[in-house]
A and B are shown apart, each in its own frame.
Chain A
Amino acid sequence: METSFALTGKGYVIVAADTTAARSIVKMKVDEDKIKELSSHLLMAYSGEPGDTVQFAEYVERNIRLYQIRNLYPLRPSAAASWVRRSLAESLRSRNSYTVSLLLGGYDLATHTPNLYWIDYLGTSVEVPFAAHGYGSYFALSLLDRYHDPEASLEEGLATLKRCIDEVSKRLVVSPGKYKVKIVDKDGVREVEL
């Protein structure tokens, strides 16, 4: 099943999402990128109802870009999270709501802090030091409670992420095989191989 994790550290946010695109019990694709690069310092991992996810992620992506073009500066992570949250909250009370779970990670260039937001389909948004969505969250969150360190270096952060992925692979029946891992820090977003 779909799983995504994210954690903050000293000056960075790591976002990881599995790469399977499944329909019912069938894996349709095993190299799907479910982390969008919304701006130079903003990442968004999305999961949920197939169809809704890509549609909503692209809607967010284009609107974030539009703001940047209009105002000549990008939205800060907290502002982007507020906008995304409101979009989902308004969608929830409409005829057809988006069923999308998000992890929004960004580096705030004004305060020089990494920010991570946990957002669900209801429009619940909360800033957290680490987060997870999907069945993997039941294993990863308790691990992160034990091993997460907000002052950890990037290497230590990636090691903690590896622990989470390994634990989910070991204990979850319907565990995903591969993950895509992206990092955002003062230099912007980049993808890493675990």
Chain B
Amino acid sequence: MSIMEYNGGSVIAMVGKDCVAIASDLRLGNQALSISSNFQKIFPVTDRIYLGLPGLATDVTTLRERFRYRVNMYTIKEEREIEPETFAHLVSSTLYEHRFGQYFIEPVIAGLSKTPSGGVKPFIAATDIIGCLNFAKDFVVAGTASSKLFGVAEGLWEPDLEPEDLFETISQSLLNAVDRDAFSGWGAIVHVITKDKVTTRTLKGRMD
């Protein structure tokens, strides 16, 4: 019995053309027993940054509260919103602070950073449970279905997808991966972040 598989759940994030998408399943279980089919693992950090927290459910809530506090403090002190790159390092250092006595979470960050010319640049990152950052150019995965997610995403993802196509790609990747994982599933939620809006859709998956 691994503590990382105690509650189950998976998150994936993907880069598109001037957009990013992040998606997760909605299951909360106690090992093989499902408790809830509406457990959120993805949280908005700013209007442009979303954070996915798959892993031990108690730490999902604890870290969510912790990041909300730290981002609020940053916003007040700096009098501006945090950038995705900075936030990724905030996540990393928060987790490394607990290097000996970890939070059992593998965070996934998806956001749009501002460029000097006034445009946006997609940003995704993931860390391990002690905060080792992984900046990827294509997609990042985490959670109990991560091995399956790698396979499907590797096959479906292509560069410069438009928001609608990116939504389709990330949705199909997630739904097909979690169907092969007993600890993930029970529906999914997908956020597509573009320059001027965030589209959130809840998907039905196989309910068995």
A contacts, CB < 8 Å to B: 85-86, 88-89, 92-93, 118, 120, 122-128, 131, 137-138, 141
Beta-carbon nearest neighbor of A118 in chain B: B35
Are A93 and B57 in contact, with the CB atoms below 8 A?
A: no
Are B62 and A89 in contact, with the CB atoms below 8 A?
A: yes
Q: Which of A118, A123, A141 contacts B58 (CB 8 A)?
A: A123
| Residues of chain A contacted by B38 (CB below 8 angstroms) | 126-127
Overall SS of chain B's interface: mixed
Check B172 for interface membership: any CB of A closer than 8 A: no
Are B35 and A122 in contact, with the CB atoms below 8 A?
A: no
Which range contains the number of B residues in contact with the other chain?
Answer: 10 to 19
| Residues of chain B contacted by A93 (CB below 8 angstroms) | 101
Are A126 and B62 in contact, with the CB atoms below 8 A?
A: no
Are B33 and A123 in contact, with the CB atoms below 8 A?
A: no
Overall SS of chain A's interface: mixed
Are B28 and A124 in contact, with the CB atoms below 8 A?
A: yes
Query: With A89-B62, A93-B101 in contact, is A124–B33 under 8 Å at CB?
Result: no
Check B202 for interface membership: any CB of A closer than 8 A: no
Are B62 and A124 in contact, with the CB atoms below 8 A?
A: no
Beta-carbon nearest neighbor of A85 in chain B: B61
Beta-carbon nearest neighbor of B40 in chain A: A126
Query: With A85-B61, A124-B7 in contact, is A137–B33 under 8 Å at CB?
Result: yes
Whole-angstrom CA separation of A73 from B35 in the bound complex: 32
Query: With A123-B62, A124-B28, A126-B28 in contact, is A138–B36 under 8 Å at CB?
Result: no
Query: With A118-B36, A124-B28 in contact, is A89–B57 under 8 Å at CB?
Result: no
